[in-house]
Amino acid sequence: MKLENLLYEKFGYAAFRAGQKEIIQDLLSGKNVVAMLPTGGGKSVCYQIPGYIMDGLVIVVSPLLSLMEDQVNQLRLIGEKRVAAFNSFRTMEEKKEVLRNIEAYKFIFASPEMLQSPFFLQALKRVKVSLFVVDEAHCISQWGFDFRPDYQKLQHAVRQLGNPAVLALTATATKKILQDIIDSLGLSDTALHFHSIDRPNIAIQVEGIDTLEEKKMRLLSYVKELQGPGIIYCSSRFWSEALAEGLRAEGVEGVSHYHGGMEQEERMLIQQQFINNQLRVISCTSAFGMGINKSNVRYVIHFHYPANIESYLQEIGRAGRDGKDSIAVLLLSGADHDLPVSIIQDELPDQKRVAYFFSLLKKSLLQRDTISFADAEYIGIAAGLHEQHWRFIRYQLEELGAVQDGCILVSALSSEIQQIINDKVLDRLNNKYEKLQAMRNWLQTLTCRREAFLRLFHDKKQKQPKNCCDICGIDVTDYKQIQKEKSMPVYEWKTELQLLLGMKRRWDYE
DNA sequence: CGTTTAATATGTATATATTAAACGGTGCCATACT
């Protein structure tokens, strides 16, 4: 009763959505919660309501700066002023100001990297933290082992902040990933809220194609025929641009590309235009998607397939959030199989480079007594390590206790440690190759793709959809654009003029 | 595998052609409190 009142008072909603109330009650009763909720299912309510009831501060860990800014703005819109994002968008003065008045805040958003900063943690220790939220918690499992190791270190932050209740939220997780999250955060007394990941309104199609030319033609005909808006996923920046350009050259309007190599401003603009229906098609790498709250995406086409089935689930899951019929098409040709292997190989340092790095470290240690992380990173670059490789090695050294006060200890140079690191690299590679193999096996499935797919997530088909998968049979015409020459709407003269001059596009009004 | 970049070959040298090697995808941070 009290919870509903608060919900209405703060958010204007009359009733909770599925799962929200149970999550809130578990948190209030002192449990940790790991929950999978569909996107747009009101994740923020799950921590904001308990936040208002509990007397201390709420920390929200978020993977992307733009997500943080978004959430801060949304809170401000409902009148909450005691909120701040603590990240590199802020100047040093602004950050100091926030920390000086830390008592005045209710919600602080931060990246996992920020939560490793002693400067930040010390200030947080002055106040009571009552809730620690990890948003998009699958990142712990997806990124934490090598790409962003600070995701694996969140449990240290939780402990330092006096073990507040932890809420881990995600929209896409297998049971294995949920377990990874629990293990990594070191949670006990945890309530699991798991919902089926089956999305019966998304038809799944895999299409074998012989040549690259043919694949481009298939893509073009899909983009021309399917009802939009749609997303095209590629595995390289190059192809995301090339496909967008190719489609435009063929007369497709409202196409843009998106990848991590673009300027932040441009990325935000394109994302916004897509959400506001000013763009019809986005050709992109995996950089696009997280935090995209768009309900009416009608198709997702994979021009290249991702290296694991979890990413595939995430990517096709961006279609049909409104529950309406949508389709996921994967275009597969023999030449596609080498790319994910190469990408995986690049993710971790090979033995030769590790050995070279340690030999350089040894040499350097003869000249001075200690090696700071900054020096070691520099040495790493000289040894041909990528930034990501260096961070992986650093994380392993930290775990092995071979570092102290931001410096590498002499003990790190033992051949034993080098061996352990090489073993860890092999572990991770094997793990990634296994996931890739699972993805490939699924591509070869001869039985219902949805069933095979759900099995990998320990899940089951709820009921047989009319359009299930290419093996059960899909009527693609169901997803084609309705020809509406007759019903072309007529707007008032101002709008028609804008349409004529290309200032607006017709689908802005549909 | 396809594409880009770097290295080599040519040979009055310059600038282009040819060949070999490298690369490919996700993002945060960098401060300095008492």
pLDDT in tens, A417-471: 999 998 998 888 888 888 899 999 999 999 999 999 899 888 889 889 999 999 9
Domain locations in chain A as residue ranges: 3-194, 202-340+459-509, 346-435
Distance separating alpha carbons of residues A153 and A61, to the nearest angstrom: 12
Asked if the A3-194 domain carries CATH number 3.40.50.300, the reply is yes
Give the CA A63 to C1' B7 distance in Å: 41
Taking residues A45-49, what's their average pLDDT? 96
> How many CA atoms within 13 Å lie on the side-chain side of A150?
14
The pLDDT value recorded for residue A1 is: 62
A3-194 and A202-340+459-509, same CATH topology: yes
Mean of the pLDDT values across residues A89-116? 95
Better pLDDT: A58 or A367: A58
Q: What span, in angstroms and rounded, lies between the C-alpha atoms of A355 and A413?
A: 10
Q: What average pLDDT does chain A have?
A: 89
Residue A483 pLDDT exceeds 60: no
pLDDT for the residue A110: 97
A372 touches strand B (CB under 7 A): no
Distance in Å, residue A376 CA to nucleotide B30 C1': 16
Lowest-pLDDT range of A9-23, A71-85, A309-323, A341-355: A341-355
Is it the case that residue A485 has pLDDT exceeding 50? Answer: no
pLDDT band with cut points at 50, 70 and 90 for residue A506: low
How confident is residue A502, by pLDDT bands cut at 50, 70 and 90?
low
Question: Which nucleotide has its C1' atom closest to residue A112's CA?
Answer: B28
Helix (H, G, I), strand (E, B) or coil at A329: strand
Taking the CA of residue A304 and the C1' sugar atom of nucleotide B31, their distance in angstroms comes to: 41
Strand B close to A120 by CB, under 7 A: yes
Find the nucleotide nearest A345 (Cα to C1′).
Answer: B24
Cβ A297 vs Cβ A268: under 8 Å? no
**Residue A391 CB in 7 A reach of strand B:** yes
Report if CB A113 to strand B is under 7 Å: yes
Give distance CA A137 / C1' B28 (Å): 16
Task: Determine whether the distance from the CB of A237 to the nearest atom of strand B is below 7 Å.
Answer: yes
Q: What percent of chain A has pLDDT over 70?
A: 94
Task: List, as one string, the DSSP characters of A259-294.
Answer: -TTS-HHHHHHHHHHHHTTS-SEEEE-TTS-TT---
Q: What pLDDT does residue A348 have? A: 87
Residue A489 — pLDDT band, cuts 50, 70, 90?
low
Gap from A275 CA to B28 C1', in Å?
A: 25
Q: For chain A, first and last CA: distance in Å?
A: 40
Q: At A175, is the pLDDT very low, low, confident or very high (cuts 50, 70, 90)?
A: confident
Gap from A238 CA to B2 C1', in Å? 10
Please give the Cα distance from A506 to A440 (Å, whole number).
40
In window 346-365 of A, residues with CB < 7 A from nucleic chain B are: 346-347
Kindly state the tokens that stand for A246.
């190719």
Q: Are the beta carbons of A169 and A137 closer than 8 angstroms? A: yes
Of A270-274, A389-393, A496-500, A505-509, the one with minimum mean pLDDT is: A505-509
pTM surpassing 0.95? no
Our measurement of CA A431 to C1' B5, in angstroms, reads 32
Q: Is the CB of A339 under 7 A from strand B?
A: yes
In whole angstroms, give the CA distance from residue A337 to residue A333: 8
The whole-angstrom separation of Cα A345 and Cα A429 is: 8
DSSP A335: G
Q: Determine the average pLDDT of the residues in A347-369.
A: 84
Q: Closest nucleotide to residue A235 (Cα to C1')?
A: B25
The pLDDT value recorded for residue A510 is: 42
How large is the average pLDDT for residues A57-77?
A: 94
Q: What is the pLDDT of residue A225?
A: 95
Strand B, nucleotides covered by protein (CB < 7 Å): 1-4, 23-33
For A412-416, what is the mean pLDDT?
90
3.40.50.300, 1.10.8.10, 3.40.50.12780, 3.60.130.10: which CATH number matches A202-340+459-509?
Answer: 3.40.50.300
Query: Is the pLDDT assigned to residue A146 strictly greater than 90?
Result: no
Rounded CA gap, A503 and A498, in Å? 5
* Residue given tokens 């596009």 in the structure block: A505
At A347, the pLDDT band (50, 70, 90 cuts) reads: confident
Q: Which of A438, A443, A488 is nearest to A469 (CA)?
A: A443
Please tell me what DSSP assigns to residue A469. B
pLDDT of residue A388: 84
Question: Which tokens is A16 given?
Answer: 């909770």
Give the range among A187-191, A369-373, A501-505 with minimum mean pLDDT: A501-505
Cβ of A431 near strand B (under 7 Å)? The reply is no
Q: Which residue is nearest to nucleotide B3 (CA to C1')?
A: A238
Average pLDDT over residues A489-508: 58
